Structure 1
Amino acid sequence: MANGSHFLGGTITWQLQNKSATGTPVAVLITQTYSWTYTSAICTSTMIATNQLIPISVGSLTCSPICPVGFGTVSATPHCTDISVINGITVGQHLDTVHIPTGSNFSIAFAGGAWGSLTSGGSSWSITSHVNLVLRTNNGKYNSAPVSTMMSPINIILNESTIITVPLSDADGDVLRCRWATSSNGVDECASVCPPSSLPSNTTIYSNCTIVITGSTVGNKFAVGLMVEDFINSTSSVPLSSVPVQFIVKVIAPLSCIYQPKLILPTESCTPIKVNETFTSTLLAINNCGAIVTITDISTLSFSGMVQTSVIKFNSSVFYKNLTWTPTINQVGYQPKFSLHNTVLHSMSHKMVRIHVLGLHTLQKQRQQQQQQHP
């Protein structure tokens, strides 16, 4: 096994606080999301509710070729957002707003040297995102980078060709394509785990962001490193931005039941929530395998402040956990999609929803529009 320790992957994305901003500098929101082994980064529900940092120090982002004026120091140590003690996973997210000149075009990276134990590849990682503040040619506004809510690790069944679809969204509705991360062109996107040499033979990535992979030995773990790029139209070959997605794939033995559990989150695909008002919901998991399977955990990838209960058994078929979240003024706008997976015996079943946090100015504008429509 390659040297390894505690890192399980992650992503870095960015967006303008105001896409129609004029003048310079402009405010850019950088969102970092990383996963760690639970024993090396122990978080609790209380730490999640109070937005505390994960109890490890991992340094700061670096820039290539140089950081623009106003970028300052951006810590890579995230706030606790999700835990799965059973699966040994801690997830954290860090949000920073930097004020940098319009027209800035550079890369930001989070690098370290302690991947979770891998079958191939080394222990070092580099997750790199390309930031481009040149105005778009189609609408004269700033671009927003794609967002991925890929969870880690992902289990695949021994000797089965498995299709992994990377969950993605783009606020601009751009054409999205995926490619393997590389360490060429002076930008290191993957350090010691650059595909395809770090993956099982014949592993393939397609531009529509699906990966086909087969594992031949139970217990093997591989780090997957890819880049998501957005394009202004289907004929363009020049990406507007590049966002990293890195995660671990683990090979497991065949399951006792082939039927995937069903996840139900009774929330609209885009749910508006007011700042400082508490949002509550229930996450349901339907067991389709009968008494031979018990759902003991539902892993999630959410955002700062989302508090969850442990899994509760309603009956042999229905399991659930309750969710509570009170957004702050700093979370106004569309939040990255809330992603979740049934785990323990099944790992590929997932569902995502998107939440829109409404600030006071947004609510006032909506009321004015409603009054105009219904005098």
Structure 2
Amino acid sequence: RPLDNQPSGSTVQVQIHQRYFWNRNWGSFSSLCTENDVISKTSILVNNYVYCYVNCSSSTFPSTGISTIMTSTDCDTNLLVRSWSGERYDTLTLPLTTSITIGYTSSAWFGPNLYPAAGGTWAVMNRINLAVRPDGYINSSPVTNTLPVLFKPVGQQLTHIVQMSDNDGTDILKCRWSNSNSGTNYNRKDECVNACAGLNGISTLYEENCTLVFTLPTTRIGWYYVIALQIEDYYDSSSPAPMSSVPIQFLFYAYSSSSSCTTRPQIIGERPNRACIGTPINVTLTERVIAQSFCSGATISNYVTSSPIGMRHSTVVSQGGGLYVMTLTWTPTDNQYGPQGFCAGAVDSSNLQSDAWCITYLVGFDSPNLIRATVVQGTASPIGTIFSNHSIFSIQATRDVHRPTRNGTYVKFMDATTNTSVQTFDAGWQSNILYTGNTIIIITNYTWIPGRRYYVLFDSGVASGVEFCGPESAPITDSTFWAFNIWDPGVSSTTTTTTTPPTTGTVTTRPLSTTTVNTLLTTTGVHVTSTNVIITTTTESTTTSTTTSSNI
């Protein structure tokens, strides 16, 4: 990505980001990685290079290439994953004439149970195009993230969604299979060599939201399948060609459960999947990743992870009731400004793995916060006592906010007597929730019960900022944060003289939002999390999965 997307002069500084997952058991490593390597930021000494391959005369990309030596970010000891992963950032000054294909190619995918590339050659290719866009800016390439290995049962039709996002918020994103057609593909280079077509004939790829629908055959239980894709950004729906192309490669592990219970664990919080969290620089963040085990006697002792540099992972602690917690600790630095992705998958003692759970930390940005209701006609309206037919509610945030970028983000009106929801609205799409400036307006359709007390709860992200993936407000689970009572005409009026009569003044004096509802949002198809793009391994028995990421 350009460090400044507004052109000035004939050159621009760009940041190139690489992430790789290597085979932890590779014989050339002097020792097996541990969490101490993550804490110490140990270098992963696989010393190869990313080179320019196509149209190199248009750029000053170094002819000697860019090193692939990484800083440790994750060490996954599960025997079915066994990966040591890391990432690297390089900043280059390149001319605006740059339109090149860069890539990394080598050999020796691990084997023998790898389809179709066991022991074979692989490649990852990335297109960088710094020509000024029609809107006058320099393009940023898409970003993505993945776990190195995802466990998938055989003989079942399954769906897997590859997360993709773009700092240029209006771009059209698509993904496609990487291929060897160097004469026709956008990179004009073999993009995967032996790692192409891992799901050939057993899958359908929906390019617009990068969704894979597939069935792994029962004939290859215990095998790994290579998935090699390109994520590409188009200026608009009429653009004949993409502006950039980013590779992502990962593995499916095919299994047939030997356990009587086949219910996979699930990561249940504290953040929702695909959350976008504003994160200040040089401020320590603590995040709990909570997983639920559903099989009797099964425990969770391992999370497969993909993390930014410097993030520490605690041991997994049982909370009772089948709940298991891993705590993340991270202090982001200046050079990590922008989106930083984290993904996790919980693995139980029967080697059943949860779906991937990914969030984006937007470093250098603050999340908006909803402001607690304290006084009448203050930041939330109404409070105190209102009539049973009151229908317009509003609350303010600490700065301007927009509708969340995903569905399934709820506002709940709760009956304090029963602690049950009487009205639930999805802020991702429902038109009775309006956004104007720093104010959220909620229009209800409910007859409140006289004499009852009600309170309002908010999911993470009901108020979302405007930058990149939309940094989210924190969830509100406190029943005292915003509460109100319903006037009971059967009670003497002297008991309510100190409370506030119903009023819509706070709402009617604010202009209603013209923000439209995004009906295209789905529970699966929005912003991600990461600035990673995937590569594989190099040298003998080297890789479990790969990611190359050039963020430009």
Q: TM-score, normalised by structure 2?
A: 0.59
What is the one-letter code of the residue matched to 1:171? N
Unaligned runs of 5+ in 2: 366-398, 401-437, 439-552
Q: Which residue of 2 aligns with 1:304?
A: 309
**C-alpha distance in structure 2 between counterparts of 1:50 and 1:18, whole Å:** 32
Residues 1:228 and 2:217 aligned together? no
Query: Alignment partner for residue 105 of structure 2, among 103, 111, 116?
Result: 111
**C-alpha distance in structure 2 between counterparts of 1:282 and 1:348, whole Å:** 16
Contact 2:116–2:194 (Cα < 8 Å) also in 1: no
Query: Alignment partner for residue 11 of structure 2, among 7, 16, 25?
Result: 25
Q: 1:171 deviation in Å? A: 1.4
Instruction: Describe the SS at the equivalent of 2:38.
Output: helix
What is the one-letter code of the residue matched to 1:20? Q
Q: 1:82 deviation in Å? A: 1.0
What is the one-letter code of the residue matched to 1:182? N
**C-alpha distance in structure 2 between counterparts of 1:132 and 1:209, whole Å:** 22
Q: 1:51 deviation in Å? A: 2.4
Report the count of equivalent residues: 343
Q: Which residue of 2 aligns with 1:183?
A: 180
Instruction: Describe the SS at the equivalent of 1:330.
Output: helix
**C-alpha distance in structure 2 between counterparts of 1:149 and 1:159, whole Å:** 27
Change (3 A) 1:50 1:18: farther
Q: 1:81 deviation in Å? A: 0.6
- Which segment drifts farther, 347-356 or 175-184? 347-356
**C-alpha distance in structure 2 between counterparts of 1:151 and 1:110, whole Å:** 20
Change (3 A) 1:265 1:74: farther
Q: Which residue of 1 aligns with 2:202?
A: 202
**C-alpha distance in structure 2 between counterparts of 1:310 and 1:317, whole Å:** 16
With a CA cutoff of 8 Å and minimum separation of 6, indicate the structure with the bigger relative contact order: 2
Residues 1:213 and 2:214 aligned together? yes
What is the one-letter code of the residue matched to 1:113? S
Contact 1:294–1:316 (Cα < 8 Å) also in 2: no
Q: Which residue of 2 aligns with 1:79?
A: 71
What is the one-letter code of the residue matched to 1:210? T
1:220-241 CA distance string (max 9 Å, x none): 2221111111111223231111
Contact 1:155–1:347 (Cα < 8 Å) also in 2: yes
Change (3 A) 1:135 1:309: same
Q: Which residue of 2 aligns with 1:152?
A: 148
Q: 1:145 deviation in Å? A: 0.9
Residues 1:340 and 2:344 aligned together? yes
**C-alpha distance in structure 2 between counterparts of 1:348 and 1:106, whole Å:** 39
Instruction: Describe the SS at the equivalent of 1:342.
Output: strand
**C-alpha distance in structure 1 between counterparts of 2:74 and 2:49, whole Å:** 21
**C-alpha distance in structure 2 between counterparts of 1:256 and 1:23, whole Å:** 66
Q: 1:200 deviation in Å? A: 5.2
Q: TM-score, normalised by structure 1?
A: 0.85
**C-alpha distance in structure 2 between counterparts of 1:343 and 1:234, whole Å:** 40
Instruction: Describe the SS at the equivalent of 1:62.
Output: strand
Query: Alignment partner for residue 275 of structure 1, among 276, 281, 289?
Result: 281
**C-alpha distance in structure 2 between counterparts of 1:242 and 1:314, whole Å:** 43
Q: Percent identity?
A: 28
**C-alpha distance in structure 2 between counterparts of 1:244 and 1:70, whole Å:** 19
Q: Which residue of 1 aligns with 2:51?
A: 62
**C-alpha distance in structure 2 between counterparts of 1:38 and 1:153, whole Å:** 13
Change (3 A) 1:110 1:256: farther
What is the one-letter code of the residue matched to 2:151? N
Q: Which residue of 1 aligns with 2:382?
A: none
Paired residues for 1:242-253 under 5 Å: 242-253=245-256
Q: 1:279 deviation in Å? A: 1.2
Unaligned runs of 5+ in 1: 1-14, 360-368
Query: Alignment partner for residue 53 of structure 1, among 31, 43, 52?
Result: 43
Contact 2:222–2:254 (Cα < 8 Å) also in 1: yes
